[in-house]
Amino acid sequence: MTREEIMRLGFEELETRANEIAAETAEADGEMLTAFNEELDAIAERRAALKLEVETRRKAAEAVAAGAGKTVEARKESETMTNKEIRNSHEYIEAFAKYIRTGKDTECRALLTENVDGVVPVPEFVEGRIRQAWDNDEIFRRVSKSFVRGNLKVGFEVSATDAAVHTEGEDAPKEETLALGIVNMVPANIKKWITVSDEVLALGAEDFLMYIYDELTYKIIKKAADLVVDAITSAPAFSTTSAVGVAHIYDVVDAESIIDAVAQLGDEARDNVFIASGTTIASIKKAVLSAHYPYDPFAGLTVISKEGIDGAIVGDLSGVQANMPEGDAVTFKFDDLSLAEKDLVKIVGRLYAAIAVVGPKMFAYITGEASE
């Protein structure tokens, strides 16, 4: 152990390490013995410091008991800042902004008190803005999320026979016929890039991080929501062993086709929504006004407007899964060379994710076109 590590140990931990050294000394060579002696010197120094601290506190307590002075505040159990506290510090925010600009995270990792594998954590105020951006997207905040490294395989039921009632004395029911499928979720990068001026790079650390994350995170989340819609509308009409099916309603989008779509959902679809373009939603509302009859054309569904969608989606968005192996924070790369003559810097944001429909009977897709 290093001297710095030893100076953070308590009495019991010091005794444990001293006993370990004693056991290892018998087989140690000259170089190891030198290292052990250095550790033992540090252990002795740490013991003396702890004993002095205990004695100081004892004397102070006795003095207070005798009515002299004020109570001496006991030493805090740990004076080391937690990673959460460090992420709120000005030093870490500055180091993280430098990491975003240069791609070098050495300073960030040096400030953290706990080992961090993979991507270094963002400052807490940035994490709050990221969470708010995710929560503000009506589509993506409803999907199921996981953070499994690499490819993720999700099993689902393609088909199964129903249970049967068995009356005593009659033939036993037939064995269940069960067909299972697997969705193989392979992550890919969702990217968005912008060019910024040197003036933006010169902003203070907090202002710079807010600008970058607000601009690029919003665009990437919007694209992720597009991919959720694409996964549903491009799904096959019937499940296969490698893809979950989505019921297709070959009809124009109106109150009747919405009712038909709801009828296609299974019992597991509970938090159901209706997703369509703003113009489609408006046309349905106008039809209600023209009918002069008060009714809810959306059948009690939560209505979400999404531009660019053909037709409409009805269902429970938890039936879509987004696996993000590197977490849900957008990562960045800087290119300060290709546009250097214009004093511009290219910033590329990316989110590593796989998005797929994993819940059978969770969706119905109204195509917007009547069947021929």
The per-residue DSSP string of 313-332 comes to EEEEGGGEEEE-TT-SS-EE
Domains of the chain: which residue ranges?
Answer: 3-65, 82-121, 127-161+175-372
- Report which DSSP code applies to 178: E
- Report which DSSP code applies to 300: T
Q: Which of 84, 59, 88, 90 is nearest to 72 (CA)?
A: 59
pLDDT band for position 76 (50/70/90)? Answer: very low
User: In terms of DSSP H, where are the helices of the chain?
Assistant: 3-6, 11-25, 30-65, 83-87, 90-102, 106-111, 124-136, 198-201, 205-233, 255-263, 278-291
**pLDDT one-digit tens code per residue, 44-55:** 887 787 777 766
Cα–Cα dist 350/348, whole Å = 7
Strand partners, 304: 275
Q: Are the C-beta atoms of residues 305 and 129 closer than 8 Å to each other?
A: no
Cα–Cα dist 361/159, whole Å = 11
* Rg of the chain on CA atoms, in Å: 31
**pLDDT one-digit tens code per residue, 288-330:** 888 887 889 998 999 999 999 999 999 999 999 999 998 887 8
Is pLDDT larger for residue 26 or for residue 331? 331
What local confidence, expressed as pLDDT, does residue 40 receive? 82
Least confident of 128-137, 228-237, 249-258: 128-137
Cα 84 to chain centroid distance, Å, stands at 17
Mean pLDDT score across all residues of the chain: 83
Verdict on whether the full-model pTM lies above 0.85: no
What local confidence, expressed as pLDDT, does residue 7 receive? 79
Angle between helix axes 205-233 and 90-102 (nearest 10 degrees) is: 60
Average pLDDT over residues 124-152: 89
Quick one: tokens of 212?
Answer: 């970058």
Q: Are the C-beta atoms of residues 184 and 148 closer than 8 Å to each other?
A: no
Strand partners, 124: none
How many separate helices (H) and strands (E) can be counted in the chain? 11, 12
127-161+175-372: which CATH architecture?
Answer: 2-Layer Sandwich (3.30)
